[in-house]
């Protein structure tokens, strides 16, 4: 980990989950904009997470439990402008409901109350997992949000905070982002929860082929299940826009707005690796068949309506950049290089 920088007296930007995937990518974005008055909050329990921030610039690091104690006691030793709250348990297979409630719901609620009390801008991570099986569609309007029924405990813990923020009107003072299927550099610590792009790259290197789940619905052929895949670099551009436009509040989807097939994604990986496609369809574990999403597609009109016109990579362009600029490199991590 790099040495903390000397503060220049500016108000800090706090990034919780700052050593994680999207959090570290956003610190990279801040660094490219010349910003390093950053406090990283996380629990570094994996060497890959540590490497996510080794080449990034920030002011200080605080353990997530210590940070929670500091804000509960109003003893945080920094003046803060913005909190980017990406810290959470992101495992969709986690079954410990008490842990998810504490880590995803109660922690976020405490942080939201603190930011409002202290006039601090808050952007927090929700999830497309809140949409469940998609029966109510993928609109981020409030009427739809109140109806949603997530399929797993992770989605439920995220949804509970969204509901609390809506019912208490806290959402009118903060920003929530419903991330869809994010992939890109700095996800290497995520293990089973890493993107299929990353897993496919490893599989092709090792076996020459990609394994995808079979379909168990007649209206979807094998590999034609669809997801809204979005590159992490596009996510941080939207987050940057939201951080700069503090008058914008509410709950917003963040996907490309274009569902793509798993077969499309696999073929994009083969193309980026310049290898002839070879896909094997395998049985889906019975433990997840009942909660598997066959189609997700973010409705993006709400974000566009508030003035965010960020242009997104195509799936093929994003996969090409990820593989050629990062996965094929000796050091695949996002880096803030001195100019």
Catalytic residues: 154, 190
List the Cα angle 140/68/107 in 5-degree steps. 30
Task: List residues bridging with 13 in a β-sheet.
Answer: 38, 82
- Which DSSP string do the residues of 1-69 spell out, in sequence order? -PPPPPP-SPPEEEEETTTSHHHHHHHHHHHHTT---EEEEE---SHHHHHHHHTS--SEEEEHHHHHH
Q: Quote the CA–CA distance of 280 and 106 in Å, as a whole number.
A: 42
Distance (Å, whole) CA 235 – CA 264: 21
- Give Cα separations from 64 to 55, 103, 194 (angstroms): 21, 10, 22
Percent composition of the chain: helix, strand, coil (DSSP 3-state, to 5):
40, 15, 40
């Amino acid at each position: 980990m790099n040495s903390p920088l000397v503060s220049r007296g500016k108000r800090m930007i706090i990034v919780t989950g700052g050593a994680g995937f999207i959090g570290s990518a956003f610190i990279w974005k801040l660094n490219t904009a010349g910003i390093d008055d950053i406090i990283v909050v996380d629990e570094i329990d994996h060497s890959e997470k540590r490497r996510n921030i080794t080449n990034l610039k920030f002011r200080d690091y605080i353990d997530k439990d210590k940070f929670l104690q500091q804000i509960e006691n109003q003893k945080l030793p920094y003046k803060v402008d913005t909190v980017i709250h990406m810290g959470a348990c992101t495992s969709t297979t986690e079954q410990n409901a008490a842990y998810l409630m504490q880590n995803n719901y109660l922690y976020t609620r405490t942080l939201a109350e603190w930011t409002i009390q202290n006039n601090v801008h808050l952007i927090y991570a929700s999830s497309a997992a809140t949409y469940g099986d998609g029966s109510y569609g993928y609109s981020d309007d409030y009427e739809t949000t109140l109806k949603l029924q997530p399929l797993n405990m992770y989605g439920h813990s995220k949804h509970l905070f969204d509901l609390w923020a809506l019912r208490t009107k806290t959402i009118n003072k903060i920003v929530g982002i419903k991330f869809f299927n994010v992939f890109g550099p700095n996800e290497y610590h995520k293990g089973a929860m890493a993107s299929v792009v990353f897993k496919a790259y490893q599989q092709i290197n090792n076996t020459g082929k990609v394994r995808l789940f079979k379909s168990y619905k007649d209206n979807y052929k094998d590999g034609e299940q669809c997801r809204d895949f979005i590159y992490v670099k596009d996510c941080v551009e939207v987050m940057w826009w939201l951080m700069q436009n503090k008058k914008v509040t509410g709950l917003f989807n963040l996907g490309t707005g274009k569902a793509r097939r798993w077969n499309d994604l696999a073929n994009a990986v083969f193309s980026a690796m310049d290898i002839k496609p070879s896909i094997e369809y395998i049985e889906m574990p019975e433990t997840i068949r009942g909660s598997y999403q066959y189609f997700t597609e973010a409705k993006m009109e709400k974000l566009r309506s508030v003035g965010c016109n960020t242009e997104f990579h195509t799936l093929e362009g994003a996969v090409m950049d990820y593989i050629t600029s990062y996965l094929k490199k000796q050091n695949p991590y996002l880096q803030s290089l001195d100019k």
